[in-house]
Amino acid sequence: MKSPRINPSILSADFVNLQAELEAIASADLVHVDVMDNHFVPNLTMGPPIVERIQAVSPVPLDMHLMIADADRWAPGYAELGAYSVTFHAEATNDPVALARKIRDIGARAGIALKPGTDVAPYLELLPEFDQLLVMTVEPGFGGQAFMPDMMPKLQQASEAKKAHGLDIWLQVDGGITVDTIGMAAEAGADTFVAGSAVYGGVPEQRIAELRAAANAHVHTKA
């Protein structure tokens, strides 16, 4: 099994010194960029102009997480900016498969995200249409929230479907990921981990290595 992917969330970074904060996570796999519109979630972060600049200076590829309404209209634009991966919310699209295909046609990986209250079952048969499934382990909208262990059965269902059908899909978790919780998510089947304050709350390079080691330990004991 490949090494677990660690994707630091710049929601916890210093927005005034964003280029330096990006350079500090050069050892990460991707950078998780949260776009919030104050409609789908009660918070506002950034839009295409800032994302375009992040894309230009980031040492690692962009893992976009769009917490926005009307994803069908807006999500493809982030793929056009050059993002490596664009994840939209199942709750914000009328046709997730058509949107994923459009994102893939542009050249980005397509991901679908599920809020804690959204059942994974209706999406299991659609998994081949996506490159990533993001299981939210907090309510989307704000960083620094506590990890929700009761999301692990949802992750396990997705992991079982992935294995049963031999799918090449990343299973991502986002919310409350620390060295203490990452093992639980890894055991449930996650292979891609978003961490904000757990990375930027210390020396980012060290924190990334610690998270990777903690996830690795649990992934390998499971394998």
Per-residue pLDDT of 136-184, as tens digits, reads 999 998 778 899 999 999 999 999 999 999 999 999 999 999 999 999 9
Residue numbers annotated as active site: 34, 174
- Structure-block tokens of residue 204: 């980012």
Task: Give the total number of structural domains in the chain.
Answer: 1
> Residue written as tokens 């996570």?
25
Q: Give me the phi and psi of 109, to 5 degrees please.
A: -75, 145
Run of H or E including 65: strand 62-67
Per-residue pLDDT of 52-104, as tens digits, reads 999 999 999 999 999 999 999 999 999 999 999 999 999 999 999 999 999 99
Q: Give me the phi and psi of 134, to 5 degrees please.
A: -105, 115
Q: Give me the phi and psi of 89, to 5 degrees please.
A: -90, 135
The domain in which residue 188 lies consists of 5-222
What pLDDT, on a 0 to 100 scale, did the predictor assign at position 222?
46
What angle (nearest 5°) sits at the alpha carbon of residue 145, between those of residues 49 and 56?
Answer: 20
Domain with residue 114: its CATH number is 3.20.20.70
Contact 32, 208 (CB under 8 A): no
Axis crossing angle, helix 96-106 with helix 71-80, rounded to the nearest 10: 20
